[in-house]
Amino acid sequence: MIIIFILSCSTNKVIKHHGVHFLAKKNDILTVNMSNKNDIIKLLGNPSVRSTFDNDVWIYIERKLSTGSIYKLGKEQLLVNNVLVLEINDMGMLAKKDFYNKDTMKNIKIVEKSTGSVYTKRSFVYDFLSSVRQKINDPMRKMDKKN
């Protein structure tokens, strides 16, 4: 009976993918001051998040999770966590692009106290990346509250 149970277990890892596939490679194709909105939508599709205050900030996300080994009791492991922030000027051309992966997100310095307008492009990107960082650091907290 135990042999049947052991043989039915799969050795293949389950990978959950969310967002745009191969975002890092597609980021290399986009060129500042050369690519326009149509090129971006053709390559990446519609953005995961658009700025609610400024229509010229588009954010694309790629995230891959995998089940852990038997020793870790199936706890999910973060494989890829990429964020691409595109800023598009009034002419519809790509003005600026910032690419963040899970390693570079750890190096982002977030200032606790700041002054200035609440409704700026910087605060929107700041709020978005802060929420992504919080989810990375504590993904199981929500599951603990539900159970």
pLDDT number for residue 66? 83
CA distances from residue 23 to 30, 46, 60, 82 in whole angstroms, order as listed: 11, 13, 8, 7
Q: Is the pLDDT of residue 68 over 70?
A: no
* Number of residues written out for the chain: 147
Write down the pTM of the prediction.
Answer: 0.62
76: helix, strand or coil: strand
Residue 65's Cβ-count burial label (10 Å; 0-12, 13-18, 19+) is middle
Mean pLDDT of 24-40: 90
Lowest mean pLDDT among 30-39, 108-117, 127-136: 108-117
